[in-house]
Amino acid sequence: MGTATQPLTLGIETSCDETSVAVVAGGRKVLSNVIHSQVDLHREFGGVVPELAARDHLERLPHLIELALEGAGVQSQDLDLVAVTRGPGLAGCLLVGVGVGEGLAAAWSKPMTGVNHLWGHIYAALIARPDLEPPLLGLVVSGAHSDLIRMTAHAGFQVLGRSRDDAAGEAFDKAARMLGLGYPGGPALDRLARTGDARRRPLPRPSLPGLEYSFSGLKTALLYRLRDLGEAAGPQDRADLAAAFEHSVVESLLEKLDLALAAAPCSEVVVCGGVAANTLLRRRAAEVVGGRARLTLPALDLCTDNAAMIASAGHHAALALGLQRAVVDPSLNW
């Protein structure tokens, strides 16, 4: 067993294309966080193939569990809780993680809790910053979500705004495909944008009233711009368009964060999820938040999917809500 103040949680994450297992002490101290990315498996298809992803999670989990326990220097009997991503995510992939987690918890006679993946992204920031506590204002930007939330207490979230259509990560992935960058698109577009100039071929910045986002119009604008350029689009044009696209997405994300912060000041701001690995977003978020609040951006490997954040969310949610209530309905986003 972990100590009374530092109980040990085994986290399992299989919601999309990363298989990850972690051991976290006291919900904050990462003892191990083993991550296997499936990018090589899906690359030739240009995106995630759900059936292949699910099968690969199942094949790799047993070994990753061994590695995570070994890396943490603990044995199964030392664990206090098993925390597994329950949703949102790809149904077949989630089923694998939940099935394995339930099996382990039963075999080891340990309690298990289902974890909301989006809560996990927020808890990555609590790992990154040991003294960070709610209330906080969060911008969660992942492959399927662009959500502005207020975290009022542990396991207590209110959605302030979200995307009406594509999520920011999805928009980056689609733009990358249009620019011939393939999968995984977000990091490739980030690299290309570093060699471009956003002012040379500007794209519109989406603007909806209030705290809502929309990225589908921007995506269409890029499509038309590329179509108009046709064969004449050289490498520098593509880099400039990548930079312009990135600029529009980032400024739109931060415009609403700025509005939310102005409407209800909060001393802690968190930007997290896979898109929070983006170079420009990280730099501009610091500028936009400025001295109004303390900004926490998890390190890159805690922004993209990982099981340490799931273990942390599971630990805190089980403490705040009790095990049963911490089990999340996969159809719920928050």
Nearer residue to ligand KG4 within complex by CB, 8 or 35: 35
Token pair listed for 281: 């977003």
CB of 277 to ligand KG4, least distance (A): 4
Site string for ligand KG4, 154-173 (x = CB under 6 A): ---------------xx-xx
- Asked if residue 143 binds ligand KG4 (CB under 6 A), the reply is yes
Q: Between 147 and 305, whose beta carbon lies closer to Zn ion? A: 305
Ramachandran category for residue 36: left, alpha or beta (phi over 0 → left; psi -120 to 50 → alpha): beta
Query: Is there binding between residue 184 and ligand KG4 (CB under 6 A)?
Result: yes
304 closest CA partner among 172, 205, 204: 172
Question: Any contact of residue 275 with ligand KG4 (CB under 6 A)?
Answer: yes
The answer to whether residue 173 forms part of the interface with Zn ion (CB under 5 A) is no
97 interacts with ligand KG4 by CB under 6 A: no
Nearer to ligand KG4, 30 or 144 (CB): 144
Which helix (H) or strand (E) segment is 30 a member of?
Answer: strand 29-37
Distances (CA, A) of 188 to 19, 67, 150, 174, 178: 21, 29, 31, 12, 12
Residue from 54, 144, 254, 297 in contact with ligand KG4 (CB under 6 A): 144
Closest to Zn ion by CB, 173 vs 305, is 305
Min separation Cβ 163 and ligand KG4, Å: 13
Considering the complex, state which of residue 25 and residue 122 has its C-beta at the smaller distance from ligand KG4. 122
- Tell whether residue 38 is a contact of ligand KG4 (CB under 6 A): no
Q: How close are the terminal C-alpha atoms of the chain, in Å? A: 31
Closest CA to 253 of 242, 265, 263, 245: 245
Minimum CB–partner distance for residue 234 and ligand KG4 (Å): 23
Contact 126, 259 (CB under 8 A): no
Q: Which residue has the tokens 């006291």?
A: 26
Out of 187, 196, 298, 314, name the contact with ligand KG4 by CB under 6 A: 187
**Token pair of 111, please?**
């309690």
Token output for 216: 């589908």
Stretch that binds Zn ion, among 95-103, 138-146, 185-193, 207-215 (CB under 5 A): 138-146
Is 305 one of the binding residues for Zn ion (CB under 5 A)? yes
* DSSP code string of 189-216: HHHHHTTS-TTTS--PPP--STT-B--H
Contacting range for ligand KG4; rule: CB under 6 A; set: 1-9, 96-104, 137-145, 283-291: 137-145
Closest CA relative to residue 309, chosen from 276, 260, 282: 276
Partner whose binding site includes residue 172, from ligand KG4, Zn ion, none (CB under 5 to 8 Å by kind): ligand KG4
Token duo for residue 175: 């733009």
Residues contacting residue 205 through CB under 8 Å, at least 6 positions apart: 218, 247, 248, 251, 252, 255
One of 81, 277, 289, 318 touching ligand KG4 (CB under 6 A): 277
Residue number, nearest CB to Zn ion: 142
Distance from CA of residue 246 to its chain's centroid?
A: 18
Which residue shows structure tokens 């529009």? 248
Residues in the site for ligand KG4, rule: CB under 6 A? 16, 142-144, 169-170, 172-173, 184-187, 190, 273-275, 277-278, 304-305
Residues in the site for Zn ion, rule: CB under 5 A? 142, 305
